[in-house]
Amino acid sequence: MGERSLRRLLIIGANSVVIKRNVHKEAQPGTWLGSLLLRKPPMLVRVALANKMARIVWALMARGGIYQSPVAAA
């Protein structure tokens, strides 16, 4: 469950990606997020994206890494 304020901020960030999905490349059809938006309700997709972001942040903090955005498949 985690800290409420942090969870809320992650969901707000995910919400901005879902709302502006025509601007974000990660939300275009054919991507993980784009296909999830076609199959699931928008709020569930927001929470799933927030969860994914939280796992990435945790992994970076635990390993001391630097975030590198994934390379788009060509």
User: Residue 39: inside a domain, yes or no?
Assistant: yes
User: Residue 12: inside a domain, yes or no?
Assistant: yes
How many domains does the structure of the chain reveal?
1
User: Residue 69: inside a domain, yes or no?
Assistant: no
For residue 33, give its domain range.
4-63
Predicted local distance difference test score (pLDDT) of residue 11: 93
Predicted local distance difference test score (pLDDT) of residue 1: 62
User: Residue 68: inside a domain, yes or no?
Assistant: no
User: Residue 20: inside a domain, yes or no?
Assistant: yes
User: Residue 70: inside a domain, yes or no?
Assistant: no
What is the rounded CA–CA span in Å between residue 47 and residue 53? Answer: 10
Predicted local distance difference test score (pLDDT) of residue 46: 93
> Across the 74 residues of the chain, what is the mean pLDDT of every consecutive 10-residue run?
86 89 73 87 93 92 84 56
User: Residue 44: inside a domain, yes or no?
Assistant: yes
55 class by beta-carbon count within 10 Å (0-12 exposed, 13-18 middle, 19+ buried):
exposed
